[in-house]
Amino acid sequence: MNLNLMMNDEDELKPRITVFGVGGAGGNAVNNMIEKKLDGVDFVVANTDAQALAGSRSTSRIQMGPKVTEGLGAGAKPAIGAKAAEETIEDIVDHLMGAHMCFITAGMGGGTGTGAAPIIAQAAREMGILTVGVVTKPFQFEGTKRMRQAEEGVEALQKVVDTLIIIPNQNLFRLANEKTTFTDAFAMADDVLYQGVKGVTDLMVRPGLINLDFADVRAVMDEMGKAMMGTGEASGDNRAQEAAERAIANPLLDEISLNGARGVLINITGGYDMTLFELDEAANVIRDKVDSDANIIVGSTLDPNMDGSIRVSVVATGIDASAALADVPAPRRSMAEPLTQNPSVSQKVETAPRQDDLPPRRVAAPMATDARPAAPAPAAPAPAAPAHAARIEDEMPAPAYQRREPAQPMMLNVKEDAGFIAPRPTQAGAPRGQASPETLERLRRAVEHKGERQQSASQPAEPVRNQSRMAGLGRMLERMAGHSDTAAPKPPASSISERVNERVAVRARQQETDFDDLASPDAAQDNTEIPAFLRRQAN
């Protein structure tokens, strides 16, 4: 008698949302969200600083670049942060497996967040995950170099995310006062991410009057460029309109406007006393601000604890299109100026034909003067040239003479002849770096041979030291040459998609084999212990 006792595990078909904190700022944002007990979201923290990673409240942690940074951080160098993310791309893919939507939060301007966030976002996009970036820009007192790195990081991240939300830290001064602490100010910036994620999750998890699914969210946020998130809450007689206006006017976000937004996701939450007219009023306030052809999706959820108040959450996407259209009128206005100047040009053209009697004089006079004074005396050409020049200057209204004047090509030829002798050979022979490529190649070969000899002749504990010394010499050679040739064995940024696809395929095979082992009846019999009294009855 075969006794099969198998447990049927039913997978919960619900969207999985992951919040990925990158760097120090991203880790702090995740800690604040965990402290507020946001449900229905998986938190992952990735950092190159081992000390900061140990203080995270998230259970899912990724130590990026253990070989590149050795857990000491990126040193405010985005290139090191990118290499660290490339080194641990397999771990990143493992934590993103099964996710449908990913919020990547980081602080732009440093090393880890600026360099690693685009790599993580690219991996998520390769896996087909809806990727939303929420980043902060540095304060003005942090310097122009850090701000420049932040701008470059934002440009790189915008190319690989579906939607990007930018929060300048300088805007915190709009809400802060003299008594606002430093931690409270950053908590305000983190609250933008918290309210945005909560608004999206509530639409898909909480029951309500108008339920939305994940496909609706993807339709609004898929490949939409820059976006804005806002949440407003109000109570009283005019609570619907006030809540909607507060959601639109978010002082922390970048200088963007809802005008021309292509996708809008509206979540209106209230108690059981919320009326139909209030729902209509709140939605119309936002609808009037966006483009008429925008894809507007409205959802409403019920919260018994919000009787007497209404909360409106807005996610507007596709604001890049409105920004581009807003920039168009400026060049159009500048183009109108030459159009207004064209009549004056035409008037000049009209005045030119009125002096039609002048061209025959020009043709007759120079021909006679050129033929007569040139024959009798060789010294006459010198005064003849200024005479022609004086006549040409007197007849300046004709633009053709201004184009004939530049005898500059002759001067340029003289300068080029002088330049061919000395400057170019010296520029060609001047080395770019401090050492020639041949010298660097010889140094690398010497280091490699020396490392091989030391490894073969030393004890097992010494190769680690030799490798570290070789790595240090390699980095010195890279800095001397101005380029990283030793980075060739490491996977370049172009191979990230291939590594991501390989890792996804490996994980898919593992899941299939695990499922087959569990589904087979033999495995179930092997894993199930039949009590002794049942065996006696079977016999």
Proportion of the chain above pLDDT 70, given as a percent: 59
Contacts with 316 (C-beta within 8 Å, 6 or more apart), sequence order: 227, 228, 258, 261, 263, 264, 265, 290
β-bridge partners, 310? 234, 270
For the cut 50, the answer to whether the pLDDT of residue 440 exceeds it is: yes
Q: Binding residue per annotation — 111?
A: yes
pLDDT digits (tens, 9 = 90+) for 166-225: 989 888 888 888 888 988 888 888 888 888 788 777 777 776 777 777 888 888 888 788
3-state SS assignment for residue 445: helix
pLDDT tier at 317, thresholds 50, 70, 90:
confident
**d(C-alpha 367, C-alpha 356), whole Å:** 18
Q: Binding residue per annotation — 28?
A: yes
Q: Which of 39-43, 47-51, 393-397, 534-538 is most confident?
A: 47-51
Q: Binding residue per annotation — 529?
A: no
* Amino acid type, 312: V
Q: Which of 95-104, 363-372, 474-483 is most confident?
A: 95-104
pLDDT of residue 428: 44
Q: Which long-range contacts (CB under 8 A, 24 or more apart) does 496-501 make?
A: 496/86, 496/89, 496/119, 496/122, 496/123, 496/126, 497/122, 497/126, 499/89, 499/90, 500/89, 500/93, 500/122, 500/123, 500/126, 500/127, 501/126
**d(C-alpha 432, C-alpha 480), whole Å:** 10
pLDDT of residue 239: 93
Helix (H), strand (E) at residue 165: strand 163-168
* Amino acid type, 22: V
pLDDT digits (tens, 9 = 90+) for 111-134: 999 999 999 999 999 899 999 999
**d(C-alpha 233, C-alpha 239), whole Å:** 8
Q: Binding residue per annotation — 24?
A: yes
pLDDT of residue 474: 53
Radius of gyration of the chain measured on its C-alpha atoms: 36
pLDDT tier at 416, thresholds 50, 70, 90:
very low
pLDDT of residue 228: 84
Please state, as a whole number, how many other Cβ atoms lie within 10 Å of the Cβ of residue 155: 10
Closest CA to 57 of 39, 73, 37, 75: 37
What spatial distance separates the first Cα and last Cα of the chain, rounded to whole Å?
8
**d(C-alpha 455, C-alpha 469), whole Å:** 12
Mean pLDDT, residues 517-534 taken together: 56
pLDDT tier at 93, thresholds 50, 70, 90:
very high
pLDDT tier at 327, thresholds 50, 70, 90:
very low
Q: Binding residue per annotation — 73?
A: no
**d(C-alpha 385, C-alpha 461), whole Å:** 88
Q: Binding residue per annotation — 237?
A: no
pLDDT of residue 448: 62
pLDDT digits (tens, 9 = 90+) for 240-282: 999 999 988 878 776 677 777 888 989 899 988 999 999 999 9
The 8-class DSSP code of residue 167 comes to E
Q: Binding residue per annotation — 26?
A: yes
pLDDT of residue 207: 66
For the cut 90, the answer to whether the pLDDT of residue 48 exceeds it is: yes
Q: What is the pTM of this model?
A: 0.62
Q: Rounded to a whole number, what is the largest CA-CA distance in the chain?
A: 142
